[in-house]
Structure 1
Amino acid sequence: MADPEKLFMVNVVTPDGLIFSHHSSIVEMRAIDGQRSVMYNHLPILTPLAIGEIKVKRSREMNNVVNHIAVSGGYFEFSNNVATIIADSAERAGNIDVSRAKAARERAQNALKKAQAAHDQRSLERAQVALRRAINRISVYNSDN
C-alpha cells in the first residue's frame, strides 16, 4: 500500500484579507536571496520574498494542479506544516487583469525613460519597481494560460 501523500496548508494574506488557502505538496517561491522550495515537514523558516511568482503544487488527487500567484514582495513563514505568505499585494493568475498589467508596464517604461533623462535616482528606482511588478503580473498570468 502506498504512503498517503504528505500535504500542508498554504495561506496567502494581503491587507485585503485571505486570498488563497489550500493544501499543497510543495511551494516554490523567490526569496530575496534566491529560489526556495518547501515541502511537508520542512524546518521552520521565515524569509523575505522578492517580487515574483509563488507556485503552489496541489495533491496528486487534484491531478497535480499548480496554482500561480503573483506577489509584490512580502514574507514567507513555515512552521508546523503551515505556510503563510504575507504580501502587500498578491493575485492569483486567474484574477490578473492582463490588459491593466500591460498598461502598468507601459506607464512604468515611460516613467523610467523620464527619470533617466532627468537623472532622478528616486523616480528611477520607483519606476524600476513598478516595471518589475507589472512584468511579474504578466508573466504569472501567462504561466497559467
Structure 2
Amino acid sequence: MKKIALDIVTPNGSVYSEHEAELVVLQTESGEMGVMAGHIPTVAPLKIGAVRVTRSNTDKDYVAVTEGFAEIRPEKITVLVQAAEKADAIDIERAKASLMRAEERLKEDKLEHVDFHRAERALHRALNRIEVAKYR
C-alpha cells in the first residue's frame, strides 16, 4: 500500500511528523475527511478536533489540534494550526483546569463583558484535549 507523509505545524514549528501514514483522518469544517496517498490536491479548513493517523492496521496516533487548514497533496499533507498536542503529551490535569475556567467564564454575567465566543472556543479546546488524551 502506498504511504503518505504528514506534517502538523504550529507557529512554534513542527509538532508531529510521519512519513509512512496509510490513512489520515481530519476534522474539517464540512465533516470528517479521510486522506490516503494519491488524494487530489485540496485545501480544507479544520475545526477543533483530533487528527487520527494510521501507520499500520494496529498502529495509530492521535493529535489534538485547534482550528487551521490542511493542505493536501497526493504525497503529503501539511496541517497548519495555532496549537497541537500529541495524545501522550497532553497534561490531563491542566486540560481539566482549562475546562473548569472556560465553564466559569461562560457562567459569568454578560454585564462583565465576557467574550462569549472566546470562552466557548476555550471550552471546545479543553474538551478536545481531554478526549484525545484517552488515546495515550
What are the Cα deviations for residues 90-131 of structure 1, in whole angstroms up to 9, with x where unaligned?
0000000010000000000000000xx326786111111000
Q: Separation in 2 of the partners of 1:89 and 1:128? A: 16
Q: Separation in 2 of the partners of 1:92 and 1:20? A: 7
Q: 1:121 to 1:50 in 2, by over 3 A?
A: farther
In terms of fraction of residues, the more helix-rich structure is: 1
Gaps of 5+ in 1: none
Other-structure match for 2:33: 36
Other-structure match for 1:20: 16
Partner of 2:38: helix, strand, or coil?
coil
Contact map agreement 2:22 2:56 (CA 8 A) in 1 = yes
Q: TM-score, structure 2 length as denominator?
A: 0.93
How big is the shift at 1:80?
3.5
Other-structure match for 2:115: 123
Q: 1:100 to 1:108 in 2, by over 3 A?
A: same
Partner of 2:66: helix, strand, or coil?
strand
Gaps of 5+ in 2: none
Q: 1:118 to 1:50 in 2, by over 3 A?
A: same
Does 2:73 align with 1:79?
A: yes
Contact map agreement 2:22 2:37 (CA 8 A) in 1 = yes
Q: Separation in 1 of the partners of 2:4 and 2:110? A: 50
Q: How many pairs were matched up?
A: 135
Q: Which amino acid aligns with 2:35?
A: V
Other-structure match for 2:52: 55
Does 2:94 align with 1:113?
A: no
Contact map agreement 1:54 1:69 (CA 8 A) in 2 = yes
Does 2:64 align with 1:70?
A: yes
